[in-house]
């Protein structure tokens, strides 16, 4: 899979994508993450990528020209057209289902903005889908892009050591995940539940299912309806 990111701050991506599962997936060539700097495409001599909003108001708006030129260049670097996603707090909310959908694509192009937002003609002219990672406002789309990349990449076949880990994840069956324990059996008077030490796999399965349900009921009742 190829993931393109169009950003003003490509350096921000180095460290978060160089650890753990994402790093391993890159090393195994399950994913090729290509960063493009929008500013490199600014045609004006000041490398300006933002300007004041028409109609007035605070903040700066991402200009059309650098984004369109960057996107057109990036698109033609690979034969797969790719799904084009504009990262904005006003978009469709990212969730595990969308992560699964995107993990099945051959190519995804993420456009990360900064400042007050994008010139609306970027959305209209690129036909991009708008995606948000939640109901809060970030200073830019970079962290959102990294969140989305992480959620996608760990779903790629071969990215996780144990193929079962993703199947048991929270949300994968509509429930939160059951609680886990590891050694020691007792830590500061807190004991591992007996059933997990019983060796009775049927009972363990039953307990985990019931715990997942309980947890979902208290923490996220919205998932059950």
> Contact positions toward ligand 6GU, by CB under 6 A?
87-89, 132-134, 136-138, 140-141, 144
Which C-beta is closer to ligand 6GU: that of 70 or that of 87? Answer: 87
89 is catalytic: yes
Question: Which of 105, 169, 177, 214 is flagged as catalytic?
Answer: 169
Which C-beta is closer to ligand 6GU: that of 142 or that of 160? Answer: 142
Location of structure tokens 């991506």: 13
Chain Cα centroid distance, residue 77: 23
Structure letter (DSSP) for residue 140: B
Which C-beta is closer to ligand 6GU: that of 14 or that of 137? Answer: 137
Give the tokens for residue 73. 């260049």
Which C-beta is closer to ligand 6GU: that of 82 or that of 141? Answer: 141
Beta-bridge partners for 85: 110, 129
Question: Which of 116, 150, 177, 214 is flagged as catalytic?
Answer: 116
Measured from the CB of residue 20, what is the shortest distance to ligand 6GU in angstroms? Answer: 22
116 is catalytic: yes
Alpha helices in 76-171 (DSSP H): 96-103, 120-126, 142-153, 164-168
Question: Which of 2, 78, 89, 214 is flagged as catalytic?
Answer: 89
119 is catalytic: no
Measured from the CB of residue 215, what is the shortest distance to ligand 6GU in angstroms? Answer: 25
Query: What does the alpha-carbon distance between residue 174 and residue 167 come to, in Å, rounded to a whole number?
Result: 11
Measured from the CB of residue 70, what is the shortest distance to ligand 6GU in angstroms? Answer: 18
Measured from the CB of residue 133, what is the shortest distance to ligand 6GU in angstroms? Answer: 4
Query: What does the alpha-carbon distance between residue 72 and residue 127 come to, in Å, rounded to a whole number?
Result: 13
User: In sequence order, which residues have a C-beta less than 8 Å from that of residue 78 and are 6 or more positions away?
Assistant: 2, 107
Instruction: Report the half-sphere exposure of 224 (CA within 13 A, side-chain side).
Output: 11
Known catalytic residues are 89, 116, 154, 169
């Amino acid at each position: 899979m190829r993931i393109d990111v169009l950003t003003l701050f490509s350096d921000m991506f180095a460290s978060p994508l160089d650890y753990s599962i994402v790093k391993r997936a890159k090393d195994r060539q399950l994913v090729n993450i290509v960063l493009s700097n929008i500013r490199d495409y600014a045609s004006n001599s000041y490398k300006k990528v933002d300007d004041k909003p028409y109609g007035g108001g605070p903040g700066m708006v991402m200009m059309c020209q650098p984004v369109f030129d960057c996107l057109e260049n990036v698109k033609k670097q690979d034969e797969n057209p790719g799904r084009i996603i504009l990262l904005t707090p006003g978009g469709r909310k990212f969730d595990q289902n969308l992560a699964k959908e995107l993990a099945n694509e051959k190519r995804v192009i993420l456009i990360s903005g900064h400042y007050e937002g994008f010139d609306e003609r970027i959305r209209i002219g690129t036909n991009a889908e708008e995606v948000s990672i939640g109901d809060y406002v970030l200073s830019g789309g970079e962290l959102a892009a990294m969140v989305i990349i992480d959620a996608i990449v760990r779903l790629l076949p071969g990215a996780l050591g144990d193929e079962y880990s993703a199947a048991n994840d929270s949300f994968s069956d509509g429930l939160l995940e059951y609680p886990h324990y590891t050694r020691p059996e007792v830590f500061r008077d807190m004991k591992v539940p007996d059933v997990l030490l019983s060796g009775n796999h049927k009972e363990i399965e039953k307990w985990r299912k019931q715990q997942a349900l309980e947890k979902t009921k208290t923490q996220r009742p919205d998932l059950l309806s």
